[in-house]
Amino acid sequence: MKFTSLLCHTILLFVHTCFAGKTQQQSKNNETVVEINHKCIKSEYIIKTSGELAAISSCSILSGSVCIENFNSDTLYLGQIQEIHGDLIVKNSSQIIKMEAPDLSFVEGKLELNTLNSLTYISFPKLETVDALQWEVLPILTFVDLEAGIKNINSVTMADTSLTGFGGFNTETLRTLNINNNRFLEKIESTVSKITGDLLIAANADNVHVSLPNLTTVTTLTIKDTESINMENLQVVGKSADFSHNSFQKLDLSHLRSLGDTLSIIKNKNLNEVKLEKLTEVSGGLIIIDNHDLNNLDFFISLKSVGGATEFQGDIQSNHFSKLKVIKGSAILKSSNKGFDCADWMKNEVGKVVRGGKVECGSGKSNTTEILLVDEDGKSVQGGTVINDNKETGSRSGFTKQKSGATTSKLSRKMTTLISIYIIGFLIQLI
């Protein structure tokens, strides 16, 4: 009898647990267990009306992704929602002007806002944790409230907005930081110290100031169209670094030690000072082209090896490598400066360190470009001159080959052998 009563009691508890309309889930801190109403549990919520949104806005915790598309109201209000265990996606909703989530502090997945052409105002005052922030095509967005500051985030993409400043992110590590095509964005600030993927800042306001004072490590780096940049503590770039079309005067990379690929410094119209005193290795190429005010390329004072080609163009007065041991590619320099001495540069700066490429130099001092071909052992195998009909490209019509002694010797031996064979054949016919 007691057994039967106990069994019935157990069954009743089971039924109550299954059908009472609630389930249990750990909260974001993984310490407390809270009960969630069944209406707050779903793999995905597709929301198109304010009524559908109101039906879930009383959930403090939502288990599942929320996708809001073609929304029919000018205000998107997330009510009492504190946590979303999934993605929050709002897209293709031209009516939305204002978006408010007064209690939202946690989004397990990404927070994506895409193609919201009327959105001007976003308020997430308590948001601290989100995996990825992906905001694109918000052309008149001008105000964002992130009062608490996002402390846990892996990726940030912000493109095509009308924001004037970027901040509110207090994190040490990011996977991606991509800020582009925000035409009024004048200030970008972050305390991030490590970016494991790409850092891209480009096509924002012409006078944008970028401050990343704690950044030490990044995989791929692209900085374009900026007025000032603070990355003075950067130490390692895992792949390539590209600084192009900027208006800053100074590029301070005084703590940078190595690059895993190519370093490009191209068309920075006001650049006149570069600091790279600790850079010892560039695993790819080294390209410095058309920086109008950058005349002295003498800042590679510790550089020992370049894994690809070097190419320098501009009004270059001097270029010295005090510790360079090897360039595993070609070395090309084209200077419009009449005082630049190509013969000295080819002989004393790069001629002895190039392995398996060409050494090419032209300057305003002469109407010719000197070319020297070098094998992988560093030996000159061919040389010549190009007449510069066009100073930018040069004309190959005046190129004259100069065979090295080793090459000439090989040709002489081949000619001797052919003559010997001919004579022997002739004598055999006579016999």
What CATH number is attached to the domain comprising 125?
3.80.20
Average pLDDT for residues 275-289, to the nearest whole number? 98
Structural domain contains residue 38: yes
Q: How much is the pLDDT for 318?
A: 96
| Residue 212 resides in a domain | no
Backbone angles phi, psi at 46, to 5 degrees: -100, 115
Residue 199 near residue 179 (C-beta atoms within 8 A): no
Q: How confident is the model at residue 34 (pLDDT cuts 50, 70, 90)?
A: low
Residue 16 has pLDDT above 50, yes or no: no
Look up the domain containing 38 and give its range: 17-153
Tell me, letter by letter, the H, E, C secondary structure of 46-82.
Answer: EECCHHHHHCCCCCCEEEEEEEEECCCCCEEECCCCC
In a domain, 166, yes or no: no
pLDDT digits (tens, 9 = 90+) for 294-318: 999 999 999 999 999 999 999 999 9
Looking at every residue in the chain, the average pLDDT score rounds to 87
* Inside any domain, residue 49: yes
305 beta partners:
281, 326
- Would residue 239 count as lying in a domain? no
Determine the Cα–Cα distance for residues 140 and 156; give it in Å rounded to an integer.
19
Strand (E) or helix (H) holding 417? helix 405-430
| Residue 104 is assigned to a structural domain of this protein | yes
Provide the pLDDT for residue 377: 83
Please report the beta strands in 225-355, taking only residues with DSSP state E, as ranges in sequence order: 228-230, 236-237, 241-244, 250-252, 258-259, 263-266, 273-275, 281-282, 286-289, 296-297, 305-306, 310-314, 318-319, 326-327, 331-335
Residue 67 domain flag:
yes
Q: What percent of the chain has pLDDT over 70?
A: 81
pLDDT digits (tens, 9 = 90+) for 119-151: 999 999 999 999 999 999 999 999 999 999 999
Q: Which two tokens stand for residue 27?
A: 């909260």
The total domain count for the chain is 1
Could you report the per-residue pLDDT of 214-253, keeping only the tens digit for each?
999 999 999 999 999 999 999 999 999 999 999 999 999 9
Band (pLDDT 50/70/90 cuts) for residue 7 is very low
